[in-house]
Amino acid sequence: MITPAQASWWITLCLVIQFLGIACFVFIVTKRIAPLIRAEHDFRLDRPWLRAQMLLKFWFGQWKHPRYRVAGTLHLFIFAGFLILSTRAFYLLMFGLADDLAAPSTTGGIYDIVADYAATIVFLAVSAAAVRRVFFKPARYAVPERYGKGHPVDAIFLLALIAILMVSESLFEASRTAIQIQQGATADFLPLLSLPWILKDVLGSASLASLWKLHLVAYFVDVLTFYFLLCYRPFGIQFHVETSLFNVFFAKLDRGTVKPVRWGVNDERLDQVKSFGIKKFEDFTWKHMLDFYSCADCGRCSDNCPASAVGRPLSPRFLTIKARDYAFEHFPVFGKSSNSHALIGGIYSDDEIWSCTTCGACEEECPLMVEYIDKIVDLRRGLVDDGKVPKSIQKALKALESRGNPYGKMEKKRGDWAKEKEFQQSCTVKVLDGKSSAKTLYFVDSISSYDDRIQAIGRATARILSAAGEDFAILGAAEKDSAHDVRRFGEEMLFQALRDHNVDAIKTSGVSRIVTSDPHAYNALKHDYKDVPPVEHIGQFIARETKAGTLKLNDVQGSSNVYAYHDPCYLGRHNQVYDDPRAVLDAIPGLKRVEMSRCRDRSFCCGGGGLMLFYEPQEEERMGVKRVRMAAEVGANVIVTACPFCMVNIEDAIKVSGMEGKMTAIDLAELVDQHLVREVPQPEAKGNEELIHAHA
């Protein structure tokens, strides 16, 4: 039994701790928010209803977590536990000692049972997490030398603190029930096998005096630990506990888009902006900075990043962590800001910034909805503004500026792919030169127009459109590069010039819809271009027309090829077109198709498209080579892709990896073209027939 005087001493002490704790926390958070106030604008309050749904799915529902089974499950438990226990925590802190100490718990019966189990599960989960870290050491937590040292001790420390919190809370419950039992009062019900229940049994034989001491100490430890954690969290990855809700609520809603140079500054007024891109830390938007704070250093992004996988100097995880540490250093909670490093050339190297293929695997994976592509594009904008562009990319950009394509080929030859002699005999392609018109525009884009291997994809696409009876035409010499990757490489003004030219040409042509076989062009026309007719990828077109019966496909005629479909990043992940191309393949009778383990939104980037083909990366292996091996692993001998850049990278990779003769690549349009049922016999569609039939 303790005297009211003793009790009030305790209460006062704990109230003081609570007051200090909250004050500290407010102070710390204010300091943390400071750089966000100096940051660039970022309008994130639009579509609040949609944002609320995202919050429900990704924050509350932990939707992305189970993508990594073990860690995801553990986190789900910890997160659920935290949510459940938060109510009790509130009551405990506020009222735990205000009432008569041995009185029954103030929270309701059912809730208490749930909360007790929650504490137990959280305790087990953090213990499992600690064991996993120490003994199983998952690879994605490792910190490569070039990025500094890891924080294994800190991680265990935090897990330990959570465990202590669970134990102290349970001890508080257990000791109270033990006291109640000994005093003969009605004891609180403790559920079977919960932590408090176990502890109560352990305490069963203790003296009343020691139980009281334990009860008070448990409370004290609970308060101390709670507030210590509260104030410690903003100094590391655990800050995500507080920021995650905001980070998910304010997350980017529009996939496939790129942020404008400055939010709130429309294209016409861009000339007034003094500096483009990110050159210093304050050039990041507040949401970007919030991203840095919210990163839990889980490594899922880098684990899926193709650039990381091939040894390029880019790791999304460290892009964020380095920036977070930079923020901590330059906007510290205590002490003066240190102005040691620069951003570019300091914490980030040029190569690191150019290495990103914008495949989006990182963003797809991140459970906290941290954004990467916009940051990379903004960093590139800064480099471009300062003239620091790699030579080979400068060449391509210059050619794009003067000729509208990165190869420097003449504009008037852009439509020549359609004039190939044999092709012309079977298929006439209209050109929208002012004299003819059409309902549908086939937007070819540069690589399919000029690269002699890829022109075959253009021809196959045209034949398919023809066979479906589509009234289509191309822009020919009036078409310029979609500039999708010009934008993503940071040359915003050149992108706008090319885009405006194309939008003009499209509007003048009077077409009411657009089809393309190039996912980069598809993404540009869908998201980067405004006021153009709706656009479709040829895969979607074929899926619909085969279902409707307008296009009929022949069977594989005894071929024993095994096909693996490779999801192009800009068709799959960014635009979520996964099923249509598969439906097309399945519509070819007898075609054997297998799935690679990395498929759909986990597809592995082929190496990048657009301007990435002109970049000389520092890497240990080519992404394409890894991809080709993935296909071989599942027993495929043909990779089907639906993107001309994927085709270039994969065909190259087949040669480099020495798999010529064992693996081939074919475009979806080429494959369909080969299997189309035609009324009039056509000259044989050229393709990789020889090698494919060799496997029959």
Partner 1 sequence: MEILVCARRVPDTSENEIQLNPAGNDIERDDLVYSINEPDNYAVEEALQIVAKAGGNVTVATVGGEEDEEILRREMAMGANKAVLLSDEVFCGSDGRGIATILKGFVQKGNYDLVLTGVQAEDAGAQVGGMLAAMLDYAFASLVNSIEVLDGKKLKISCEVEGGNKEISEIDLPCVLSIQTGINEPRYVGMRGIRQVASLEIPTYGASDLGVDKADVGEAAAKVKRDNYFVPALGKGAEILGGSSEEIAAKLIELMKAKGGL
Partner 2 sequence: MTARIFAYIVHKAGVADDSAAELLAAAKKINSTASPTAVVTGWGAEVDAVCDSLRSSYSEVWKVANESLAYPNAELIRKALVKVLPQGSTVLVPHNHFGIDLAPGLSIKLNTAFVSDVLGIDGIESSFLKVVRQEFGGQVSTHVRCDVSSGVVINLRPGAFKPIECAPAGGVVVDKSGEVGALVAGRRYVETVVPEAGDVDISKEPVLVSIGRGIQEKDNLSIAQELAAAMGAVVSCSRPVVDAKWLPKSRQVGSSGQTVKPKIYLACGISGSFQHLAGVKGSPFIVAINKNPRAPIFQVADVGIIADILEFLPELTNKIRETKQVSV
The reply to whether 395 sits near partner 2 by the rule CB under 8 A is yes
Residue 648 site contact among partner 2, partner 1, none (CB < 5 to 8 Å, cut-off depends on kind): partner 2
The reply to whether 656 sits near partner 2 by the rule CB under 8 A is yes
The reply to whether 692 sits near partner 2 by the rule CB under 8 A is no
DSSP 470: -
Q: What is d(CA 49, CA 23) in angstroms, rounded to the nearest whole number?
A: 33
The reply to whether 622 sits near partner 2 by the rule CB under 8 A is yes
- C-alpha gyration radius of the chain: 31
The reply to whether 485 sits near partner 1 by the rule CB under 8 A is no
- The site that binds partner 1 (CB under 8 A) totals a number of residues, namely 26
The reply to whether 684 sits near partner 2 by the rule CB under 8 A is no
x/- binding map, residues 400-419, to partner 2, per CB under 8 A? ------xx------------
Query: Residue 379, exposed/middle/buried by CB under 10 A (0-12, 13-18, 19+)?
Result: buried
Residue 493 site contact among partner 2, partner 1, none (CB < 5 to 8 Å, cut-off depends on kind): partner 1
Sole binder of partner 2 in the list 396, 462, 521, 553 (CB under 8 A) = 396
> What is the torsion angle, in degrees rounded to the nearest 10, for the CA atoms of residue 442, residue 443, residue 444 and residue 447?
-170
The reply to whether 422 sits near partner 2 by the rule CB under 8 A is no
Contact 355, 617 (CB under 8 A): yes
Residue 396 site contact among partner 2, partner 1, none (CB < 5 to 8 Å, cut-off depends on kind): partner 2
Considering the complex, what minimum distance in angstroms separates the CB of residue 242 from partner 1?
39
Q: What is d(CA 433, CA 112) in angstroms, rounded to the nearest whole number?
A: 76
Q: Which of residues 249-278 bind partner 1 (CB under 8 A)?
A: 271, 276
Listed in sequence order, the residues at least 6 apart from 34 whose beta carbon sits closer than 8 Å to its beta carbon are 331
Considering the complex, what minimum distance in angstroms separates the CB of residue 146 from partner 2?
20
- The site that binds partner 2 (CB under 8 A) totals a number of residues, namely 19
Considering the complex, what minimum distance in angstroms separates the CB of residue 29 from partner 2?
47
The reply to whether 667 sits near partner 2 by the rule CB under 8 A is no
Sole binder of partner 1 in the list 31, 395, 501, 629 (CB under 8 A) = 395
Contact 361, 304 (CB under 8 A): yes
Q: Which of residues 496-525 bind partner 1 (CB under 8 A)?
A: 497
- Give strand pairing partners of 513: 440
Task: For the beta carbon of residue 264, count every other beta carbon within 10 angstroms.
Answer: 10
Listed in sequence order, the residues at least 6 apart from 621 whose beta carbon sits closer than 8 Å to its beta carbon are 310, 311
x/- binding map, residues 398-437, to partner 1, per CB under 8 A? xx-xxx----x-xxx-------------------------
Judged by beta carbon, residue 448 or residue 603, the one nearer partner 2 is 448
For residue 611, give the amino acid letter.
L
The reply to whether 494 sits near partner 1 by the rule CB under 8 A is yes
The reply to whether 453 sits near partner 2 by the rule CB under 8 A is yes
3-state SS of 552-616 is CECCCCCCCCEEEECCCCCCCCCCCCCHHHHHHHHCCCCCEEECCCCCHHHCCCCCCCHHHHHCC
Judged by beta carbon, residue 100 or residue 271, the one nearer partner 1 is 271
Q: Which residue carries 């809700």 as its tokens?
A: 245
Q: What is d(CA 441, CA 458) in angstroms, rounded to the nearest whole number?
A: 13
Q: What single string gives the DSSP state of each residue in 276-331? A: -S-SSGGGSBHHHHHHHHH-----HHHHH-HHHHTT-S--HHHHHHHHHHHHHHHS
Binding site for partner 1 (CB under 8 A): 271, 276, 384-389, 391, 394-395, 397-399, 401-403, 408, 410-412, 491-494, 497
Binding site for partner 2 (CB under 8 A): 392, 395-396, 406-407, 450-454, 613-616, 622, 648, 652, 655-656
